[in-house]
Amino acid sequence: MTRRSITILTTVFLAVMLFGKIHAQNTETANFIEQIKNYDLSTILTAEHFLAEDRENSKDKIKRAEILGFIGDDYQRFFIHFISVIQNPTNPYEYLVYGKTMVKNNVCSFQGMITIREARIYKSGDIATYKQGFATCDVTLFEDKKQSSTGLLKGKLTSNFIIDHKNRFRYDALMYVADGFSNNQFVGHWTSYKTNTSKKCNWGDYRVPECGDLDIGAGEFSVNEKYVRNGWLSYMLENMAPNGAIIKPTTGEKAKDTKWWE
């Protein structure tokens, strides 16, 4: 082995060790459940834009993408949009929510509750003057029984936040440029009112948690070709990611750039 090879290997080893040390520090947290009641989680759940920034004070205002989700073992695309999220004035850990879901062309309205069960702050973060943390919540959403093919959505939601040097409670996008960036990650089930049958139903910002082989992307969410026809063709077209197996149709499905929930 040459001196150059040894030097390269040593550098890589030290970098890995340093990253591991930093990562270990970042995973240490402190309880924040008492303090979080003084902030409003709706700013994270309904953010239309957020600031992506870094240690060099570079800041970019980003339009938040619509939530990505699936339902069922075939990873049928699941749309959800929170139209209103209001903190309960008598219980600051509870949020009254209203919105709509869509599977294929079936749009349903829902109402429900998001309840904060845990909140923690990292002891060291990506920017020294900011606090970074997360809230873990119970979610229960009731689709309108008067509408077609409706049910109950229930599961756990984890939302990442920052508190900046001006004590502003904000969407955490400090690692927006990093591979695998995500936020507002939900894992749960949808249960039919009519049949009582349950299906997996997960969603999130920019990535979908526990989605098996649906997501084959390294840096960002990318749909496995075998699931494209399960409602994901419009996403592929919208994100300009066609390949040999994805042919842009002359008629039929197109990119869903309209506000389907209105």
Segments in the chain forming alpha helices (H) = 3-26, 33-36, 42-45, 233-238
pLDDT in tens, 145-200: 999 999 999 999 999 999 999 999 999 999 898 999 999 999 999 999 999 999 99
Tokens of 234: 């419009």
What b/e readout covers 209-237, taking b as 16+ CB neighbours within 10 angstroms?
eebeebbeeeeebebeeebbebbbbebbb
Distance, CA of 21 to chain centre: 27
Which residue bears the tokens 């003084």? 38
- pLDDT tens for 92-120 read 999 999 999 999 999 999 999 999 999 99
Which single residue is written with the structure tokens 């939530």?
67
Predicted pLDDT of residue 18: 38
CB 229 within 8 A of CB 236: no
The 10s digit of each residue's pLDDT in 194-218 is: 999 999 999 999 999 999 999 999 8
- This prediction has a pTM of 0.85
In the chain, domain spans: 27-217
Nearest to 206 by CA among 229, 172, 231, 233: 172
